[in-house]
Structure 1
Amino acid sequence: MNSLTAHAGQFLADVSYEQLPAEVLPTVRDAFTDTIGVIMAGIDQPISDILRKTIVEPAGRQESRACLSTHLVAAPDAALLGGAVAHCLDYGVQTMSGHPAGVLVPAILAEAEVMGSTGKEMLTAFVAGYEVWCELWRRNQNYHSAGWHPTAVLGPLASAAACSVLHRLSAQQATMALAIAASHAGGLFSNFGSMTKGYHSGMASRNGLVAARLAAAGMTGSVDALENVQGYLTAFSSGGAPDRESPPKLGKEWYLPKHKLQFKMHPTCFFEHRSFEGTVKMLEGRRIDPNDVESVEVEMGRGQVTCLVHERPQNMFQAQFSGQFAIAAAVILGKLGVAETADDVVLRPDMQAFYPKVKLKAVDEFDPRDPVFSPTESVTMKLRNGEVLKSGPIATVPGYASAPLTTDELWGKFVECTDKTHSKTQARELFDLLQKVDSLDSAQALPSCTSIFKD
Structure 2
Amino acid sequence: MSSARPEPLSLTSALVRLTREKPVTQADLDMAALFTLDALANSLAGRNSAPGRILLKWFDGNSAANVAPDPGRMAFLLGGLCHILETDDLHRESVVHPGCVVVPAAYALAAKYGKGGRELLTAILHGFEAAARVGMAVGPEHYRIWHNTATCGPFGAAMAAAALLDLDDEAAINALGNAGSQSSGLWQFLETGAMTKHLHAGHAAEAGVRAGELAALGFTGPARILEGEKGFFRAACPDADPDAVTRNPDAPWQLVRTSIKPWPSCRHTHPTIDAGEELRARLTRDGVSLDQIAEIVVETYQAALDVCDRPVAASDYEAKFSLQHSIAAALICEQVNFDAFGEKARADCAGLAAKVRVLRADPWASAYPASWGGRVTIRLASGETLHAERTNAKGDPEAPLSKQDMIAKAKMLLTHGKVAEPDRLIDAILDMATGGETPALNLF
Please report the TM-score for the alignment, with normalisation by the length of structure 2.
0.89
**Residue of structure 1 equivalent to 2:187:** 189
- 3-state SS, counterpart of residue 399 of structure 1: coil
Would the aligned equivalents of 2:137 and 2:243 in 1 still touch at CA under 8 Å? no
Q: Does 2:322 match 1:327?
A: no
Letter in 2 for 1:150: N
| Aligned: 1:428 with 2:435 | no
| Structure 1 residue identity aligned to 2:380 | L
Equivalent in 57, 61, 72 of residue 61 of structure 2:
57
| Partner residue, 1:401 | 397
Identity, % of aligned positions: 24
Write the distance in 1 (CA, Å) between the matches of 2:106 and 2:295. Answer: 47
Q: Which residue of the partner structure matches residue 361 of structure 1?
A: 359
Alignment of 1:53-92 (within 5 A): 53-55=57-59, 57-60=61-64, 73-92=69-88
Deviation at 1:324, TM superposition (A): 0.4
Contact 2:173 2:223 (C-alpha < 8 Å) held by counterparts: yes
CA distance in 1, matches of 2:252, 2:168: 23
**8 Å contact kept, 1:309–1:322:** yes
Aligned counterpart, 1:66: none
**Which digits, 9 at most, give the CA deviation of each residue in 1:20-51, with x for residues without a partner?**
14443332111011112222222111222222
* Structure 2 residue aligned with 1:6: 13
1:330 Cα shift?
A: 1.4
Rounded Cα–Cα distance in structure 1 between residues aligned with 2:10 and 2:434: 35
Whole-angstrom CA distance in 1 between matches of 2:72 and 2:135: 25
**What is aligned with 1:216?**
216
Contact 1:56 1:81 survives alignment (8 Å): no
Whether 1:261 and 2:264 are equivalent positions in the alignment is no
The C-alpha deviation readout for 1:239-260, integer Å capped at 9, x for no partner, is: x23234678359x424526961
Mapped partners of 2:160, 2:65: distance in 1:
22
| Alpha carbons of structure 1 residues 62 and 242: separation in structure 2 relative to 1, 3 Å | farther
Q: Which has the higher helix share?
A: 2
Counterparts of 1:246 and 1:47, CA distance in 2: 35
In structure 1, the residue matched to 2:5 is none
RMSD of the TM alignment (CA)?
A: 2.6
1:385-443: CA deviations, max 9, x gaps?
3222222x32234311112111221122122111244578x211211222232334532
1:33 aligns with 2:37: yes
Task: Report the equivalent of 1:68.
Answer: none
- Segment drifting more, 97-106 vs 220-229: 220-229
For 1:321, give the aligned amino acid: F
Q: 2:175 maps to what in 1?
A: 177
Secondary structure of the residue aligned to 2:269 is helix
Q: Are 1:380 and 2:387 counterparts?
A: no
Change (3 A) 1:113 1:289: same
Q: Output the CA distance in 2 between the equivalents of 1:60 and 1:352.
A: 47
Q: Do the aligned residues in 1 keep the contact of 2:262 with 2:409 (CA within 8 Å)? A: yes
Range with bigger deviation, 269-278 or 53-62: 53-62
- Give me the whole-angstrom Cα distance separating, in 1, the residues matched to 2:353 and 2:89: 27
Q: Is the 8 A contact 2:139 2:239 kept in 1?
A: no
Give the secondary structure class of the aligned counterpart of 2:83. helix
Note the C-alpha offset of 1:88: 0.4
Change (3 A) 1:245 1:229: farther
Structure 2 CA distance for partners of 1:361 and 1:231, relative to 1, 3 Å: same
Checking the alignment, whether the CA contact within 8 Å between 2:46 and 2:417 is kept in structure 1 is no
Most deviating of 175-184 and 142-151: 142-151
Alignment partner of 2:146 out of 145, 148, 170: 148
Distance in 1 (CA, whole Å) between partners of 2:441 and 2:84 is 22
State the AA in 1 paired with 2:62. Answer: P
Note if 1:45 corresponds to 2:41: no
Runs of at least 5 residues in structure 2 that lack an aligned partner in the other structure? 1-7
Judge conservation of contact 1:304–1:372 (CA < 8 Å) in 2. no
Q: Which residue number corresponds to residue 67 of structure 1?
A: none
Superposed CA deviations along residues 284-333 of structure 1, whole A, max 9, x for unmatched, are 13455443321100111122222213221111111111100111101221
The corresponding residue for 2:4 is none
